Amino acid sequence: MKHLYILSLFFTTFQLFANDPNVESKKIIYFCGNNSEFPWEENAELACRGSFYPAVLGLLFYIDHNAEINTLSLESFSWDYYNNYYKLRLKKDLYFHNNRKVNSKDLEFSILRHFFSKNPNIGDSFQINLKGTEKIKKGQPYQSGLVDGLKILDDRTIAITPSKSNPSFLYTLTHFSFSLVPIEELNSDLITWKKWPVGVGAYKVTEHFKKEKSFLLELVDPASYPNAPKEILYEQIRINEPDITNKDYITSRNEKYIKEELLAPLYRRLIEFNYSSDLAKSKDFRKAIAYAISREDLSKVTNILTNPLYELLTSSSIGRINIKENQNINEAIKIIKSLKLSNEITIPFSEDSSYLGEKYRIVLKGQLNKIGLKIKFKENTKNLWDPFTKEFKNSPFYLHSTEADYYDPILNFTNYRNGSPSKNAYPDDKLIQNLLDESQEAPSRDILNERLKNISRYFYEQRVLIPLFEIPNIVYYNPEKISCIGTQFGGVTLYLQNIKVKN
């Protein structure tokens, strides 16, 4: 019956997608495996949000293949030396997909909404360094004009004042979390949508195939993107063979696809500790886990290419301390014996079978078993922001993938400060905030590099978390349908609108 159901999904989706032979060559299938119902949910895979939102919502800025920022929904940006603030100016005659004209109040709301929402969200995980946001309380009703560091200058222009000097400040605003959104299309939590996302992007959602968990995106800005796909079938279940994907083991093994590696890694896989657990609060326990692991052995058996990672910052980032493997089995055994652990421990993990496979988890389980720690892995399908609930309440750590924040290297660490939306994943350690504050005040890139090294070193010495490996962003595309993927940078963001299809 399962096979019949999958076949039914295949033919239903294919038929819905292939009705118009005149534009068939301009249609593509994009696949991003996702356990969540919608690709825009906070619990959805980051790579899915990072492809869906830029296409539908658009971006204020985008990062090109040279790591430079360029305007997209904005007409211009500049630093006002007299007033000491950034001026961001919207494009003229910019409209949301619901046909309402965009104004500077929309820009203000889109940047600030995450600070007002009481729901954990990725936008709130950024320490955006905007003057006055520290006064906002979670769940406080949103009002224009409440944040000192963001002022409306005219109908298309706002002024933004950073609370501290930071040479990477504007890079933060390239993230899809700060894309333009109309407040009337959101629920009262300012995060979830009443129906589906509405923005100013090149594409709008036209159909939702609920059973198949797929969406049809229609190009609404062909003037700006004349060679982009006219329609994209956005699949979250692998029903059809995709024309393009960057997170699929099956496609990675198919020689018909062209492979193109982007500059910034897709993810990093790591162990985050549960600091509400007495076991995880023990620095010795955290060290024992680190001493037990051979990252090279893990990386060798992943289904797709991965590279061992020994510190939180990925290989392309500034602020790295460039440490190497520090496996010490004997020391790990001694620590675990002293803790007198005998019961098997359940460890939650986020979905990874579709791209990493399970072999590396088997190897990791064996490495920990070798030092006397018995574990079993169980997938967490419920809560990205607070995995340590119910059956995982006493689990000392969590295995999952996080975004490698190339926008601003400081942001790699902000999720582990006091008050982070990632509940229980941060220690009660004021020094982390102090180190972050020092980094945010760095007046130049060189000084920022040195101050980031201080944070990196502290995270390593305290074993605040344990990085395992980084996952390069390799895009696989069908050359029979797609001529090139256009300007791309990488990370979790894929600019679907920049894809160029063959005529």
pLDDT in tens, 167-191: 677 888 888 999 999 999 999 999 9
Residue 242 binned pLDDT confidence (cut-offs 50, 70, 90): very high
Does residue 372 have a pLDDT over 90? yes
The confidence score (pLDDT) of residue 131 equals 86
Q: Answer for the pair 55, 217: CB distance below 8 angstroms, yes or no.
A: yes
**Contact predicate 30/496, CB 8 Å:** yes
pTM of the model: 0.89
Question: Hey, how many other C-beta atoms are within 10 angstroms of the C-beta on 429?
Answer: 16
Mean pLDDT confidence for 108-116: 94
Radius of gyration, CA atoms only, the chain = 23
Do 163 and 139 touch, CB atoms closer than 8 A? Answer: no
Domains of the chain, residue spans = 2-57+201-263+474-501, 66-185, 267-471
For residue 12, what pLDDT band results from cuts at 50, 70 and 90?
very low
Q: Enumerate the β-bridge partners of residue 415.
A: none
Domain 66-185 has CATH 3.90.76.10: yes
Collapsed DSSP state (helix, strand, coil) of residue 484: strand
The region, left, alpha or beta by phi > 0 then psi within -120 to 50, assigned to residue 99 is left
* Alpha-carbon separation of residue 161 from 56, 123, 131, 170 (angstroms): 28, 18, 6, 11
**Could you read off the pLDDT of 335-349 as tens digits, one per residue?**
999 999 888 999 999
The pLDDT of residue 221 is 97
DSSP conformation letters of 89-154? EEPTT-B-TTSPBP-HHHHHHHHHHHHH-SS--HHHHS---BTTGGGPPTTPPP-TT--TTEEEEE
One-letter amino acid at 157 equals T
| pLDDT at residue 303 greater than cutoff 60 | yes
CA distance 468 to 481: 36
Provide DSSP, 480-493: TTEEE--S--BTT-
Instruction: Pick 109 or 315 by higher pLDDT.
Output: 109
Separation of alpha carbons 322 and 245, rounded Å? 31
pLDDT tens digits for range 258-291: 999 998 899 999 999 999 999 999 999 999 999 9
Q: What is the pLDDT of residue 163?
A: 83
Report d(CA 13, CA 114) in Å as an integer: 35
DSSP 8-state symbol, 403: -
Task: Tokens for 365, please give them.
Answer: 């389980």
**Distances from the Cα of 450 to the Cα of 432, 454, 460, angstroms:** 15, 7, 15
Amino acid at 435: L
CA angle, corner 171, sides to 106 and 141, nearest 5?
35
pLDDT of res. 439: 86
pLDDT at 6: 42
Average pLDDT over residues 127-150: 87
Architecture of domain 2-57+201-263+474-501: 3-Layer(aba) Sandwich (3.40)
Residue-wise pLDDT tens digits, 422-454? 777 788 888 998 998 888 888 888 998 999 999
**Choices 3.30.420.40, 3.40.50.1100, 3.10.105.10, 3.40.50.300: CATH for 267-471:** 3.10.105.10
Cβ(288)–Cβ(371) below 8 Å: yes
Check pLDDT > 90 for residue 38: yes
Per-residue confidence (pLDDT) for residue 204, from 0 to 100: 97
- Taking the C-alpha atoms of residue 361 and residue 366, their distance in angstroms, rounded to an integer, is 8
Of the candidates 306, 332, 352, 321, the one whose C-alpha atom is nearest the C-alpha of residue 472 is 306
Strands 244-245 and 27-31: parallel
Per-residue pLDDT band at 4 (split at 50, 70, 90): very low
**Chain Cα centroid distance, residue 165:** 25
Find the range with the poorest average confidence among 21-25, 50-54, 197-201.
Answer: 21-25
> What is the rounded average pLDDT for all residues in the chain?
90
Q: Which two tokens stand for residue 416?
A: 């582990």
Three-class DSSP category at 490: strand
Q: How far, in Å, CA of 463 to CA of 323, rounded?
A: 13
Q: Tens of pLDDT along 45-72?
A: 889 999 999 999 999 998 887 888 899 9
pLDDT tens for residues 200-232? 999 999 999 999 999 999 999 999 999 999 999
* More confidently predicted of 19 and 207: 207
Backbone torsions φ then ψ of 49, nearest 5 degrees: -60, -35
Token digits for 425? 């994943």
- Report d(CA 38, CA 210) in Å as an integer: 10
CA distance 185 to 203: 17
Residue 474 has pLDDT above 90, yes or no: yes
CB burial of residue 425 (10 Å; 0-12, 13-18, 19+): buried
Residue 304's identity, in one-letter code, is I
3-state secondary structure of 310: coil
CA–CA dist 479, 329 (Å, integer): 48
Do residues 374 and 344 make contact, with C-beta atoms less than 8 angstroms apart? yes
**Residue 480: CB atoms within 10 Å:** 9
For residue 137, pLDDT beyond 80: yes
Residue 2's pLDDT band, with cuts at 50, 70 and 90, is very low
Report the greatest alpha carbon distance in the chain.
Answer: 71
Paired tokens of 472: 């390069």
SS3 406: coil
Q: Is the predicted pLDDT of residue 13 greater than 60, yes or no?
A: no
